[in-house]
């Protein structure tokens, strides 16, 4: 008995820790399948020995922890979780329980895909969105209304003759695959570690403090459930139809099924098709369609008896870890890569998988010669999910993260609070140099299409190019010495380089490759400071006054211009004919209605997204600033504006205007 008690305590502790990491830290320490198997084991033990169940057992709660960053809100209707199954027999067992519970009464199911995102409760009163609350612990969640208002597919107002005075809509907030991929490309551009998956990125985004930053992430939402008092719908299908009629975003992948066999056909039909959707999915939700039958079947303490979910099991294989190699990015960021014994997985042969950083290697506890389990995240990106300890040799040595750059031998650095190691030798490390040049020529920067990665590598290896400025000194004779480069190719390359001299300063500044300075920030810096000379002389205080510039970016810009080699490189680019200044102060204005007045926008607005309002002001001759000062002309105040900004504006005598006033000003 003592052994069983210890096992229950151990499982409880481990699962609670996994829950904390997943819901609070937005990390996935184990696969869904591993978690569910451990939970089932604990449920079985507690059913056999109920007196040994721990008071904090994860089987007694939905999962998730309410954070302290947002106000807590009690759910009117608890947000219960669903039971999970991975095989056909368990689904048939569920169907048998439904049949028994309904005492032979005819019933049908409603099937919909289970989206891999963040559950949200949307409360509407008199047609207006008044509150958005996360799942939290199922009984209460976090009020994230301001952030959810930025999601364009969630209606802020609903108009319909049959609208209840108050109702609740539940849905799944997600980050579309394309948005996630673009976000990772942008992070790579500015030297940040890439995000691991779209679900955790969406979860972290919903909890961000600044709703303007949330808006930039382009989150989306599918709704799937309608709740309220005395609703006139007899079936779940009818309530979904009502949501569609009210212009909510409902995924068109649902289907009513007459019996469990049709449910299984639906599951099989989406097994492969789901990967073509714009978001990640991890299974199917099956619900009894009739609302009255749902009420008859009722609930357990944790889940509804009238619904369950089938999860597609990610294909996982075990293969040998041959070695770990380390890639060096253009900003010096080091990325460890698992070199695997080739193995066939989900339609392709997998040889490599990213290990992200030293923390991940430590978490996995990797040893030399280990056999590791590999899955495909979203069936696309290979990832190492664990170690097959049963195959580990007794004398296996723990893998130690490298201490020096694999390319140039320089000792690596790791900034406090950062996960990645960096090679600081940015002017002498080959992959950093070629990476910077590749960044320089990309479409969003100098747009030199005639050059490519292999050509740049050859130019560097032959000593013809050591920095971006060297491109402008290349000759045709030099290019003709490269492999597979003929007269026409050489001419195209030189023409592309010459044409890039017409690139505006905003793009040149982005191309230079200051760490943490992406395309948008480069534009804001260019418009704010007007020239590279003014920017290079700016103090930290000056930089922080520029739009969208925080501590990290300001320090990075200061560090860049402190380096004499960078100053020399910029002068060489200037001598080559590149633009180092601009007369543009923002977006090209289509009118001068606002006469150069300065505006600071704060809060949430009924008819505008914040970025949309900023752009309208700029297009009509106004200037956008990022802080309250005595020079500010107007503070545009929306709902939930920070009290400190209002207080400071009043103290300095700044005019505070509302949404209606700025709308009238824009109309002239």
Distances in Å between the Cα of 466 and the Cα atoms of 428, 435, 439, 479, 573 are: 9, 11, 14, 15, 13
118-125 vs 128-134, strand pairing mode? antiparallel
Structure-block tokens of residue 570: 């910029």
Compute the distance between CA of residue 422 and CA of residue 406 in angstroms, rounded to an integer.
11
374 within 8 A of 317, measured Cβ to Cβ: yes
- Judged on CB neighbours under 10 Å (0-12, 13-18, 19+), 1 is exposed
**Residue 373: CB partners within 8 Å, gap ≥ 6?**
316, 317, 318, 384, 385, 386, 387, 388
480 within 8 A of 490, measured Cβ to Cβ: yes
52 within 8 A of 46, measured Cβ to Cβ: yes
**Residue 416: CB partners within 8 Å, gap ≥ 6?**
none
Distances in Å between the Cα of 482 and the Cα atoms of 74, 271, 648 are: 68, 48, 62
Compute the distance between CA of residue 437 and CA of residue 133 in angstroms, rounded to an integer.
46
Catalytic, out of 41, 114, 166, 648: 114
Strand partners, 333: 422
Structure-block tokens of residue 590: 């289509």
DSSP 410: P
Question: What SS3 class is residue 539?
Answer: coil
- Judged on CB neighbours under 10 Å (0-12, 13-18, 19+), 34 is middle
Strand partners, 310: 85, 284
Q: Which of 1, 2, 257, 45 is nearest to 15 (CA)?
A: 45
3-state secondary structure 126-192: CCEEEEEEECCCCCEEEECHHHHCCCCCCCCECCCCCCCCEEEEEEEEECCHHHHHHHHHHHHHCCC
Question: What SS3 class is residue 386?
Answer: strand
Kindly state the helix (H) or strand (E) to which residue 307 belongs, with its residue range. Answer: strand 307-311
DSSP 124: E
334-345 vs 281-288, strand pairing mode? unpaired
513 within 8 A of 524, measured Cβ to Cβ: no
3-state secondary structure 566-610: HHHHHHHHHHCCCCCECCCCCCCCCCCCCCCCEEEEECECCCCCH
Compute the distance between CA of residue 15 and CA of residue 485 in angstroms, rounded to an integer.
59
282 within 8 A of 112, measured Cβ to Cβ: no
Return the residue matching tokens 């592309």.
496
Task: Assign residue 314 a region (left: φ > 0; alpha: ψ between -120 and 50; beta: otherwise).
Answer: beta
Distances in Å between the Cα of 352 and the Cα atoms of 315, 347, 369 are: 16, 15, 15
CA 486 to chain centre: 44
- Please confirm, yes or no, whether 177 is among the known catalytic residues: no
CA 253 to chain centre: 24
Strand partners, 384: 374
Compute the distance between CA of residue 668 and CA of residue 652 in angstroms, rounded to an integer.
26
Catalytic residues: 114
């Amino acid at each position: 008995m003592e052994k069983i008690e210890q096992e229950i305590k151990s499982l409880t502790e481990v699962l609670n820790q996994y829950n904390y990491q997943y819901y609070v830290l937005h990390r996935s320490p184990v696969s869904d399948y591993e978690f569910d198997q451990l939970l089932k084991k604990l449920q079985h033990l507690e059913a056999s020995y109920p007196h040994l169940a721990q008071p904090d057992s994860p089987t007694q709660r939905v999962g998730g922890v309410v954070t302290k960053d947002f106000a807590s809100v009690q759910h009117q209707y608890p947000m219960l979780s669903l039971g999970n199954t991975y095989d056909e027999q368990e689904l048939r067992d569920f169907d048998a329980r439904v049949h028994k519970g309904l005492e032979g009464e005819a019933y049908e199911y409603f099937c919909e895909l289970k989206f891999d995102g963040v559950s949200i409760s949307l409360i509407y009163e008199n047609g207006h969105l008044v509150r958005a609350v996360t799942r939290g612990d199922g009984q209460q969640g976090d009020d994230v209304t301001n952030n959810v208002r930025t999601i364009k597919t969630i209606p802020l107002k609903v108009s319909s003759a049959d609208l209840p005075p108050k109702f609740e809509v539940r849905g799944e907030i997600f980050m579309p695959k394309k948005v996630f991929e673009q976000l990772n490309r942008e992070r790579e551009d500015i030297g940040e570690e890439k995000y691991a998956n779209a679900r955790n990125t969406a979860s972290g985004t919903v909890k961000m403090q600044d709703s303007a930053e949330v808006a930039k992430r382009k989150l989306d939402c599918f709704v799937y459930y309608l709740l309220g008092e005395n609703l006139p719908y007899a079936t779940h299908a009818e309530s979904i139809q009502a949501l569609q009629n009210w212009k909510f975003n409902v995924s068109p992948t649902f289907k009513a099924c007459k019996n469990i066999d049709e449910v299984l056909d639906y599951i099989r039909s989406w097994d492969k098709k789901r990967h073509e959707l714009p978001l990640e999915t991890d299974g199917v939700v099956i619900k009894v369609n009739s609302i009255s039958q749902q009420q008859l079947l009722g609930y357990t303490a944790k889940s509804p008896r009238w619904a369950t979910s089938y999860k597609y099991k990610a294909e996982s294989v075990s293969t040998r870890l041959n070695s770990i190699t380390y890639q060096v990015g253009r900003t010096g960021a080091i990325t460890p890569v698992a070199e695997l014994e080739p193995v066939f997985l989900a339609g392709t042969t997998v040889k490599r998988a990213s290990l992200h950083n030293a923390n991940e290697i430590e978490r996995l506890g990797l040893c030399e010669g280990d056999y590791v389990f590999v899955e495909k995240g979203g069936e696309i990106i290979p990832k190492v999910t664990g170690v097959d300890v049963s195959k580990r040799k007794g004398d296996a040595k723990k893998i130690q993260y490298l201490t020096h750059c694999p390319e140039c031998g320089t000792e690596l650095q790791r900034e406090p609070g950062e996960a990645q190691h960096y090679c600081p030798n940015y002017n002498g490390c080959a992959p950093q140099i070629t990476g910077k040049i590749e960044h320089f020529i990309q479409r969003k920067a100098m747009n030199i299409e005639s050059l490519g990665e292999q050509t740049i590598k050859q130019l560097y290896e032959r000593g013809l190019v050591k920095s971006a400025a060297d491109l402008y000194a290349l000759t045709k004779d030099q290019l003709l010495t490269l492999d597979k480069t003929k007269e026409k190719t050489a001419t195209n390359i030189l023409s592309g380089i010459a044409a890039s001299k017409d690139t505006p300063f905003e793009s040149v500044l982005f191309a230079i490759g200051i760490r943490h300075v992406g395309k948008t920030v480069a534009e804001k810096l260019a418009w704010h400071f007007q020239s590279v000379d003014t920017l290079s002389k700016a103090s930290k205080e000056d930089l922080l006054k520029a739009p969208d510039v925080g501590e990290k970016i300001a320090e990075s810009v200061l560090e860049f211009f402190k380096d004499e080699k960078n100053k020399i490189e910029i002068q060489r680019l200037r001598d080559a004919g590149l633009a180092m200044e601009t007369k543009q102060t923002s977006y090209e204005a289509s009118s001068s209605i606002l006469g150069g007045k300065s505006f600071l926008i704060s809060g949430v607005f009924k008819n505008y997204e914040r970025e949309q309002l900023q752009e309208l002001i700029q297009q009509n001759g106004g200037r956008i600033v990022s802080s309250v000062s005595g020079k500010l002309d107007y503070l545009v105040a929306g709902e939930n504006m920070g009290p400190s900004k209002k207080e400071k504006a009043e103290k300095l005598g700044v005019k505070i205007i509302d949404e209606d006033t700025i709308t009238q000003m824009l109309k002239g």
